[in-house]
Structure 1
Amino acid sequence: MRFLLFVFLFTVSIYSSYAQTVNGVPIHEINEEYVQIVGTSKFMSSKVTIEIDFGQRTKLLGSYKETTIVDENEKRVDFNSMVDALNFMTEHGYTFAVSNQNVYHFLMKKTE
């Protein structure tokens, strides 16, 4: 019974991890070697929102959906911390490359 529960939860977690998109592109389908992630603290919260730049076109006054991760309901995905965001990107095939220590700017490199 525990094994079936584990398999079910594992399957749901994999499916839900592929439901996140940036600018309509699923995270696992971003086929760029480098992406930049920038974290922004949420007002009156310990959570952060990250923006992902992989060279996609964005409009000058575009929607937040062009650079932030959104779920299957097109709601912004928040992370507990920047390390949580780094772990999320690692799960999707990226490794840490460079950081600016004054603000949250991380350059991620896609692993083969």
Structure 2
Amino acid sequence: MLEHYIELLSPLGPISARAMFGGHGLYCDGRIIAIVDEGELYLKTDAQTRPSFDEAGCRPFVVEMNGKVGEMKYCTVPDEALESPALMRPWAELALAAAMRQPPKRRPAGRRGAKR
């Protein structure tokens, strides 16, 4: 299933997958654009793109941590989008646009040089 999702998103450019929290993150241009959890694809959303996903009846990615339930900024795609890269492309472009609007995460400054 993971390879199929990578193929569907590939018109955006090279897609890489990294294991995370029992699922996978899918990346394009170094930015996470999707997650795969329990075999289901969720694309990144933001305030500008979420209404399109909601209007299409897409479901949000919901997680439970420490007894609390929360929605992440990812949604499923319409079933027909899973049929081909051409049908997925408009949804994938929304996800990439949302990812590009988010500032890159900064890594904490580490020590430079060798320990003494």
TM-score (norm. length: structure 2): 0.24
Question: Highest CA radius of gyration, 1 or 2?
Answer: 2
TM-score (norm. length: structure 1): 0.25
